[in-house]
Structure 1
Amino acid sequence: MITFKVDKILNNSLVLSKNSDNNEVILMGKGIGFNAKVGDLLDAEEIEKCFVLQQITDIQGYLNLIESLPDDYIELTKFLLDYASKTLQTTFRETLFFTLLDHLNYAIERYYSGVVIQNRLLYEVKSFYPKEFEVAKYGITYINQRLNISLPEEEAGNIAFHLVNGQSHQQTMQHTLLSVKMLKDIFNIIQFNFAIRIDKKSLHYSRFLTHMQFFIQRIFEQKQLQSDNDFVFQQVIRQYPDEFKCANVIKKYLINQLNITISNEEILYLILHIIRIVH
C-alpha cells in the first residue's frame, strides 16, 4: 500500500508531503491533519486529492494563505469544485482549487468590509456560460447558508469565470474575460448588420454560441481550421453576400483585437452559422 509521510501540517484537511518522485505535494483529505504529527504516515486511501507543488505558480503565497484561513473555507472550496465537476461533467486544472480559494477569501473579506465591486460582465456571463453560472450561483447560495452571510449575485459571475477558465489547460483568466467581451461584441455586430434582435432561447443561438466559444479558443491556442479547397468558400460567399460582409466585419474586429490572421475555413463556418442565426 502506498503511504505518505507528513512533513508539515497546514490545517485539519491539508498536509505537506512528498510523492514517489520526491516532489513536494499538498495532500487533501477530511481530517488528515487533525491530531497528526510530523513524521506520521498516511495511507493513500485517506487522501482525496494530491497537488504537485512544482506545477503551481506562487505556491508559497498559497501555502501562507492556506495556513491563515479557517478550515471552512477549504471545505467550501472543495465542495464547490466537486459539485462543479460532477454537474458540468468536466475536470479542472489542479491550480483552480488555489485560485478559487484565494478568490473566495477576498470575496468574504470584501463582504465584511462592506465593499461591493460590480461585475460589469454579469449579464454576458449568464448568457454565454449559463451552466457555469448556475453552478456558481448554487455554490454562492450554499456558502451564504454555511457562513450566514449574503454574498451578492455578482460573485456567482466571478466564480463562473474561474470555472470557465479552469476547464482549459491553456486559457488564462485574461483570455476568459476577453472572450466574453468579444462574444458580446460579435453578437452586437450581427444584430446591427441585419437590424435584428437575436432570440437567445433559440437552438440556432445556442449552436452559434458554442461554435464561437470553440472558435475563439482555437484562436488563442493557434489551432485554426485550415483547408486547401477554396471551391465551397467561393460558392458560399457568392450565394450569401450579406452574411459574408458581416463575417468580414467580425474578421476585421478580431484582427484588430488580437493582431492575428483568420483562415478562410474559419470564415466559412462563421458565415454558415450567421446564415442559420439570421434566417
Structure 2
Amino acid sequence: MIAVKIFNNNALSTVTDDGKDAIILGLGIGFNKRPGDQVNEDKIEKIYYVQDDMQTKFLELLNNISPEVMDASNEIIRLIPNNDGKFNNKGILSLIEHISFAIERTKNNVFLPNLMLPDIKVMYSKEFELGMNALSIINKRCQTNLPEDEAGYIALHFVNMQSNDNLAYDTLKFVRGSMDLVKECYGLELDELSLSTIRFMTHLKFLAQRIFKKETYEDEKMVEMYVYLLTKHPKNVEYLEKLNEYIEKEFKYKLDKPEMIYILLHLTKIL
C-alpha cells in the first residue's frame, strides 16, 4: 500500500490493493513518511474503510485534532466490543469529535454537567466502566483532567456505536420518564440503588429497546393476571394511564397487556 496523505506520526490515508479508500492507524506508521511512500504494513494496528459520505468529514477531523487526541481515540476505539475495524459507524467519528471538544471545553474552564450520569451508571454499567477506562486514557495521553461526567457521555457513545442509532439517549429518556411517573403517582421516593429498583429500571430499559427496535412481545398466558395486578394497588390504574400517555406522546407507541403486566409485577416488588 502507498501513503496518500500523512495526518500525523500515527495516522495516514491510503488506497488498498483492491481500490478501497482507507485510514490506517498505527504507532509511528506516519513518522518521516511522505505521500507516495510505501506503508510499513507491520505497523498497522487498525484499518478503517471510509464510506464515501463520511470521508470528507473524517479527513477534515484528522486535520483539525491534535496527534494526542487521535492517539487517545485510537486506544479507546480498541475498547469497543465487537469492533470489526471498518470505519462504517458514524458513532466512532462522533466519539472522536466529542473527545476533542471535551478537552477544548476543559481548557476553557467550561464544564457540561451530565444530568443522566446516575441513570447511566445503573443502566449501562459495563459501558460506564469502559467510559472510565477511556477517561484515564484521555487524561494521561492529553495531559488533561476531564471529570467523571465525561465518562458517562463516552459510555453513551459506546452504546450507540453498537446499535447504530440514538438508542441510548431515547432509552434513558424512556426510563427516567417512567420512573418520574412512579414518584408522581405513588408519592414514593425510590431507592435507585436497591435491587428491586435496579431490576425495575433494567426491565424498563429492555422494554424501551423493544419499542424502539419495533419488536413485538406476546405472552397470552399472563393476560389473565392483568386485572388482578391492576387492583393490587389503588394507584396502578392511574400510573398505567399516565405511562401510556407519556409513551404515546414521546415515542408513538402503545403498550400491550403483557408489557403492562411485567411493569406491574416489578412495581409490586417496590411498593
**Counterpart-to-counterpart distance in 1, 2:240 and 2:266:** 10
Distance 1:269 1:68, change over 3 A: same
**Counterpart-to-counterpart distance in 2, 1:66 and 1:145:** 20
CA contact 1:23–1:54 (8 Å) conserved in 2: no
Aligned to 2:222: 232
**One-letter amino acid of the counterpart of residue 183, structure 1:** V
Deviation at 1:125, TM superposition (A): 2.6
CA contact 1:133–1:160 (8 Å) conserved in 2: yes
Deviation at 1:277, TM superposition (A): 3.7
Instruction: Pick from 145, 164, 186 the counterpart of residue 159 of structure 2.
Output: 164
Aligned to 1:49: 46
**Counterpart-to-counterpart distance in 1, 2:99 and 2:243:** 36
**Counterpart-to-counterpart distance in 2, 1:138 and 1:73:** 15
DSSP 3-state at the match of 1:261: coil
Q: Deviations over 1:213-259 (max 9, x none)?
A: 222122112123245x3x521x1112111485233432221111112
Deviation at 1:35, TM superposition (A): 2.1
CA contact 1:224–1:266 (8 Å) conserved in 2: no
CA RMSD of aligned residues (A): 2.7
Aligned to 1:78: 74
DSSP 3-state at the match of 1:224: coil
Structure 1 segment 160-199 matched on structure 2, within 5 A: 160-169=155-164, 171-172=165-166, 175-199=167-191
**Counterpart-to-counterpart distance in 1, 2:40 and 2:241:** 59
**Counterpart-to-counterpart distance in 2, 1:220 and 1:72:** 37
Q: Deviations over 1:151-203 (max 9, x none)?
A: 2333222222212222213x22xx43232222112112223333433333333
Aligned identity (percent) is 27
Deviation at 1:65, TM superposition (A): 1.7
CA contact 2:222–2:258 (8 Å) conserved in 1: no
**One-letter amino acid of the counterpart of residue 245, structure 2:** K
**One-letter amino acid of the counterpart of residue 95, structure 2:** L
Query: Which runs of 5 or more residues in structure 1 are unaligned?
Result: none
TM-score, length-normalised on structure 2? 0.83
Query: Which runs of 5 or more residues in structure 2 are unaligned?
Result: none
CA contact 1:32–1:46 (8 Å) conserved in 2: yes
| Number of aligned residue pairs | 264
Instruction: Pick from 35, 39, 49 the counterpart of residue 38 of structure 1.
Output: 35
**Counterpart-to-counterpart distance in 1, 2:243 and 2:30:** 54
CA contact 1:5–1:39 (8 Å) conserved in 2: yes
DSSP 3-state at the match of 1:205: helix
Does 2:218 correspond to 1:221?
no
Aligned to 1:152: 147
Deviation at 1:63, TM superposition (A): 0.9
DSSP 3-state at the match of 2:225: helix
Does 2:193 correspond to 1:201?
yes
CA contact 2:29–2:40 (8 Å) conserved in 1: no
DSSP 3-state at the match of 2:51: helix
Does 2:246 correspond to 1:256?
no
